[in-house]
Structure 1
Amino acid sequence: MQVKSQKNKLSVQHPNQRLLRQMNATLNRKLKSIQHHLTIQQTDLQQHLMKILQDGHRPPKVDPPKVVYKQLNVLLITPCMDREISSMSVLLEQSLRHLVKNIYEIKTIQPIETYLDASNTDLILLLGGEEALPEENIEALRASPIKKAIWLSDPSGVKHLESVISLFDYVFTQDAANIPSYQRMGNALCYEVPFPPNPNVFYPQTARKHHESDVYIIGDAQPGSCLFEFANHALLSGKKVRVEGKGWKRRNGAFIPVQAHEDREWLYNGAKIVIQDNSSIRSMLEVAACGTFQLISISSTVDPDTDVFQSYNSLEQLVEKFDYYWNQVEQRRLAASRAMAYVKYNHSYFQKSLQLLDRIFR
Structure 2
Amino acid sequence: MMSDLLEQAKSKEIPVSPIISAEKRPLPVDYKKIRVLLCSGMPDEDWRSEQIAADELRRLVKEVITIKARPSFGMSLSLLNPDLIVYMGRPDAISQEDLGVMQGSSAVKAVWLADNDGTSEALGRAAACFEHVFTQHTVHIPFYQSVGCRRVSHLPFSSDPELYYPKPFDEDYRSDLLIIGDSSRHLFCFKSISKIAEGLKIKVISTDAPSLELAALETFEWIREPSPVQTANYYNGAGAIIHLEPQVRQVIEAAACGAFQIASVHPDLYEYMCPGEDVVIYHSLDELEAKLIYYLDHPDQRRVYSSRALGKSRYDYSYLQMVSRLLYAVFLP
- Alignment TM-score, normalising by the size of structure 1: 0.74
The offset of 1:337, in angstroms, is 0.9
Q: Is the 8 A contact 2:173 2:237 kept in 1?
A: yes
The offset of 1:359, in angstroms, is 0.8
Corresponding residue for 2:19? none
Q: Determine which of 182, 192, 217 is the counterpart of 1:230.
A: 192
Corresponding residue for 2:38? 76
Q: Is 1:329 matched with 2:290?
A: no
Q: Name the CA shift for 1:249/1:179 in 2 (closer, same or farther; >3 Å).
A: same
Aligned with 2:29: secondary structure? coil
Aligned with 1:125: secondary structure? strand
Taking the TM superposition and a 5 Å limit, the aligned residue runs for 1:189-268 are 189-221=151-183, 227-228=189-190, 230-233=192-195, 235-245=196-206, 246=208, 248-253=210-215, 254=218, 255-262=220-227, 263-268=230-235
Q: Which is further off, 157-166 or 345-354?
A: 157-166
The offset of 1:148, in angstroms, is 0.8
Q: Name the CA shift for 1:258/1:224 in 2 (closer, same or farther; >3 Å).
A: closer
Q: Is 1:280 matched with 2:247?
A: yes
Q: Name the CA shift for 1:180/1:116 in 2 (closer, same or farther; >3 Å).
A: farther
Q: Which is further off, 90-99 or 142-151?
A: 142-151
Q: Is 1:89 matched with 2:50?
A: yes
Q: Determine which of 124, 137, 147 is the counterpart of 2:98.
A: 137
CA distance, structure 2, for counterparts of residue 172 and residue 201 of structure 1 = 24
- Flag structure 2 segments of 5+ consecutive residues without an equivalent: 1-11, 13-26
Q: Which is further off, 219-228 or 162-171?
A: 219-228
Aligned with 2:115: secondary structure? coil
Higher helix residue share: 1
Greater RCO structure (CA 8 Å; 6+ sep)? 2
- Flag structure 1 segments of 5+ consecutive residues without an equivalent: 1-63
The offset of 1:300, in angstroms, is 5.2
CA distance, structure 1, for counterparts of residue 89 and residue 179 of structure 2 = 28
CA distance, structure 2, for counterparts of residue 154 and residue 187 of structure 1 = 15
Q: Is the 8 A contact 1:281 1:300 kept in 2?
A: no
Q: What is the percent sequence identity of the aligned residues?
A: 30
The amino acid across from 2:269 in the alignment is V
The amino acid across from 1:185 in the alignment is V
CA-atom RMSD, angstroms?
Answer: 2.7
The offset of 1:206, in angstroms, is 1.6
Aligned with 1:295: secondary structure? strand
Corresponding residue for 1:9? none
Corresponding residue for 1:294? 261
Q: Which is further off, 300-309 or 272-281?
A: 300-309
Q: Is the 8 A contact 1:222 1:228 kept in 2?
A: no
Q: Is the 8 A contact 1:278 1:300 kept in 2?
A: no
The amino acid across from 1:298 in the alignment is V
Aligned with 1:124: secondary structure? strand
Q: Is 1:270 matched with 2:232?
A: no
The offset of 1:193, in angstroms, is 0.7
Corresponding residue for 1:23? none
Q: Is the 8 A contact 2:31 2:61 kept in 1?
A: yes
Corresponding residue for 2:108? 147
